[in-house]
């Protein structure tokens, strides 16, 4: 008996529930936390898809890093607890319409396309990922490190306190 369908179904539920609540919660902190739940679910899905390295990265970078960062951001910009309480919606119907149209579009594209069904052996190991990264995409790798450095420096410059103004 394969556990695959159940695992898939369960993780799907986690991701979807987390996403829906993240999108609709009126409380900003709760919204961010629900996002975290969705990200964890996605990490599980990565694992199901024979991508262990990515699952690990997703857990550490995304849930660990970004959620933390967002919570920091929320806290730092909270004035008299106003923000943490308020996460008002802006025209939910219009947004629903647009998102719904988009989903309909994508879904029809997916259902009407010939998709490969290769479910056999797949080596998604870290070693494979690493080899591919450093052999095929070395230049992009180097550029990415440069980009990360720039983002770091940029964020610091942007957000530092300007004492001598």
Partner 1 sequence: MIPTLQSYLLLGSGIFCLGLFAALSRRNAVGLLVGIELMANGVNLNLVAFSRFTGLIDYQVFALFSIALTVAEVVVGLAIVILIFRHHRGIDTDLVSEFEG
Partner 2 sequence: MSALNLACVAVFLPVCVAGILWVIPALRTRGRIGAFLSVLAALASTASALILFGMQRAAPNTVILDAQARWLTREGRSMADVGFYLDGVSTSMLVVVCVVALLVQIFSLGYMADEPPAAFGRYFTYHSLFLFSMAGLVVAPNLLQLFMCWELVGLASYLLIGFYFKKPSAARAAVKAFWVTKFADMGLLLGIIILYAQTGSFSWGPEAVATLTASGAATAVGLLLFLAIMGKSAQFPLHLWLPDAMEGPTPVSALLHAATMVAAGVYLGVRAMPVFAASDQTLWVMAHIGGFTALFAACVAVVQTDIKKVLAYSTCSQLGYMVAALGTGEIVGAYFHLTTHAYFKALLFLAAGSVIHGVHSNQLQDMGGLFGKMKITAITFIIGALALAGFPGTAGFFSKDLILEQLLHAELFFPYACGMTAAFLTAFYMGRVVFLAFFGPPSEAAQEAHESGFPMTIPLVLLAALSLGIGFFGTQLAGLYGAEYHFHLSPTGIVASALGFLGIGLAWMAFGRRPGMNLSAFQPIGNIIRYGATDRIFKAVYERIILGASAVLSWIDRYLIDGLMNWSAYITVVGGRELRGSQTGRIMDYVYFLVFGLLVLSASGWIGQ
Binding site for partner 2 (CB under 8 A): 90, 94, 98, 101-102, 105-106, 108-109
H/E element holding 164?
none
Which of 1, 3, 82, 164 touches partner 1 (CB under 8 A)? 82
Kindly report the CA angle at 62 between 40 and 82, in degrees rounded to 5? Answer: 95
Closer to partner 2 at the Cβ: 94 or 120?
94
Site for partner 1 in 41-60 (CB under 8 A): 42, 45-46, 48-51, 53-54, 57-58
Write down the least CB distance from residue 122 to partner 2, Å: 29
Indicate whether 32 belongs to the interface with partner 1 (CB under 8 A): yes
Q: Which of 67, 112, 85 shows the shortest CA–CA distance to 27?
A: 85
Give which of partner 2, partner 1, none residue 27 binds (C-beta under 5 to 8 Å, depending on kind). Answer: none
83, burial (CB in 10 Å: exposed 0-12, middle 13-18, buried 19+): middle
Closer to partner 1 at the Cβ: 57 or 164?
57
Token output for 91: 């025209």
Q: Which residues of 104-135 are buried (b: 16+ CB within 10 A; e: fewer)?
A: eeeeeeeeeeeeeeeeeeeebeeeebeeeeee
Q: How many residues bind partner 1 (CB under 8 A)?
A: 88
Closer to partner 1 at the Cβ: 90 or 164?
90
């Amino acid at each position: 008996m394969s556990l695959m369908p159940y695992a898939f179904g369960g993780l799907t539920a986690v991701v979807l529930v987390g996403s829906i609540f993240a999108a609709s919660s009126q409380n900003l902190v709760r919204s961010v936390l629900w996002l975290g739940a969705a990200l964890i679910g996605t990490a599980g899905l990565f694992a199901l898809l024979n991508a262990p390295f990515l699952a690990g990265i997703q857990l550490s970078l995304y849930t660990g890093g970004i959620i933390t960062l967002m919570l920091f951001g929320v806290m730092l910009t909270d004035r008299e607890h106003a923000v943490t309480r308020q996460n008002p919606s802006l025209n939910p119907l219009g947004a629903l319409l647009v998102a719904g149209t988009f989903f309909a579009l994508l879904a029809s594209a997916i259902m009407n396309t010939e998709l490969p069904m290769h479910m056999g052996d797949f080596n998604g190991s870290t070693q494979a990922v690493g080899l591919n990264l450093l052999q095929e995409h070395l230049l992009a790798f180097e550029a990415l490190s440069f980009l990360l450095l720039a983002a770091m420096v940029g964020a610091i410059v942007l957000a530092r306190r300007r004492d001598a103004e």
